[in-house]
Amino acid sequence: MSVLPTIGPSLLFCPANRPARFEKALSAADAVIIDLEDAIAHDDDEKSSARETVREHLRSDPDKFFVRINGLDSPWYAADVDMLRDVGATKVVLPKVESAGQLLKTPDLTVIALCETVRGVVNSGEIAQAANCAALFFGAEDLTADLGGRSSRSPSGAYHSPIENARSQVLFAAKAAGKAAIDAVFLDIRDSEALEAESRFACDMGFAAKGCIHPDQVQPIRRAYAPSDEQITWARGLLDAVAVNGPGVFQYQGQMVDKPLYQHAHTIMTRTEN
């Protein structure tokens, strides 16, 4: 049920109470997540107003956007789900998922599950196996808060090891279930160089996409996910060599080539085509 490989690497969050930004965001990014959760004040009137804004915007094209709804433990979850069903929308981002059973409460919705609590990370393998789970989305900052930590990152900017380990666990869980994995948002909007480096690492490790919180973050993510000319030349040449030599083991540009390298080359060419 993965819906991500064809939409590109940048998933841009957009506040649900800013409808004028919805289409603009979609023209900038590969996909947009309209946010009813963190972007909206935890107030009944604010949540209701934002929900009605989303309802009206989705009526003409229900699955044009993803929608992050409020969590199951919130007083707004049921109304958010009812709104999605009312307009026929099916693409939902569910925050703070901690079990597969939480996804199965809405079997009619395709869910990107945010693994951003300790239980969510520990149970990520189970969550990814849910039939309506399209992807796991790692959330570093909420996870740090749930751990009782002060910061997800060291002064160098790298994740602290428990957060990096959790990031890997979510990636492994998604891949083991044949689902996509989405990397966490990068909070420093000004540091495009660090964002691009982190996105390149995410791409190299197999994350299908990366969340972002500002339009200026889209292009660094896209640059990171786009194969270089050297990578494309290598991959194309290797696949041509496989066509000549067959699928066995042989040498190519000084490397011993076998099935894992074929897969690397296929991944590069798939990203080139997308």
151 and 255 in a single domain? The answer is no
List binding-site positions. Answer: 68, 116, 142
- Co-location of 33 and 87 in the same domain: yes
In-domain check, residue 185: yes
Judge if 169 and 249 occupy the same domain.
no
Binding residues for substrate: 68, 116
pLDDT value of position 74: 98
Q: How confident is the model at residue 5 (pLDDT cuts 50, 70, 90)?
A: very low
Q: Are residues 62 and 179 in the same domain?
A: yes
Sign of CA dihedral 94, 111, 226, 248: positive
CA distances to 182, 231, 232, 263 from 257, in Å: 29, 15, 16, 11
Query: 40, 49, 23, 32: which is closest to 91 by C-alpha?
Result: 32
Q: At what angle do helices 218-225 and 192-205 cross, to 10 degrees?
A: 40
- Inter-residue contact 215 to 25 (CB < 8 Å): yes
Location of structure tokens 């490989």:
5
Angle at 152 between CA 149 and CA 154, to 5 degrees: 110
Q: Are residues 142 and 122 in the same domain?
A: yes
Alpha-carbon 19 to chain mean position: 22
Binding residues for Mg(2+): 116, 142
Would 4 be classed as within a structural domain?
no
**Residue 254: burial class (beta carbons within 10 Å; 0-12, 13-18, 19+):** exposed
For residue 150, what are the domain limits?
10-225
pLDDT of residue 248 exceeding 90, the answer is no
Q: Is residue 5 part of a domain?
A: no
Band of pLDDT at residue 251, cut at 50, 70 and 90:
confident
| 146 falls within a domain | yes
What is the DSSP-derived secondary structure letter of residue 54?
H
265 found inside a domain: yes
Phi and psi torsions of 35, nearest 5°: -105, 110
Q: How far apart are CA 80 and CA 73, in angstroms?
A: 13
Asked if residue 53 and residue 94 are part of one domain, the reply reads yes
3 within some domain: no
User: Using an 8 Å Cβ cutoff, are 24 and 1 in contact?
Assistant: no
| Statement to judge: residues 196 and 263 lie in one domain | no
Q: How many CB atoms lie within 10 A of CB 117?
A: 20
Q: Coil, strand, or helix at residue 101?
A: helix
End-to-end CA distance of the chain: 19
Higher pLDDT, 236 or 34: 34
Q: Are residues 253 and 137 in the same domain?
A: no
| More confident position, 66 or 266 | 66
Nearest one of 260, 251, 200, 246 to 227, comparing CA atoms = 200
Of the three residues 225, 241, 259, the one that is the final residue of a domain is 225
**pLDDT band for position 274 (cuts 50, 70, 90):** low
Residues 68 and 121 in one domain: yes
In the predicted structure, residue 26 carries a pLDDT above the cut 60: yes
Contact assessment for residue 182 and residue 112, using Cβ atoms and an 8 Å cutoff = yes
The mean predicted confidence, pLDDT, of the chain is 92
Q: In this model, does residue 42 exceed pLDDT 70?
A: yes
Does residue 253 share a domain with residue 162? no
Report field, pTM of the whole predicted structure over 0.85: yes
Contacts (Cβ under 8 Å, ≥6 apart) of 215: 12, 24, 25, 28, 29
Task: Tell me if 1 is assigned to some domain.
Answer: no
pLDDT at 270: 77
| Average pLDDT of the segment spanning 122-148 | 98
54 and 183 both lie in a single domain? yes
pLDDT band at residue 2 under the 50/70/90 scheme: very low
In the chain, the number of structural domains is 2
Please report, for the domain that includes residue 88, its CATH number.
Answer: 3.20.20.60
Whether 147 is in a domain gets the answer yes
Statement to judge: residues 41 and 85 lie in one domain: yes
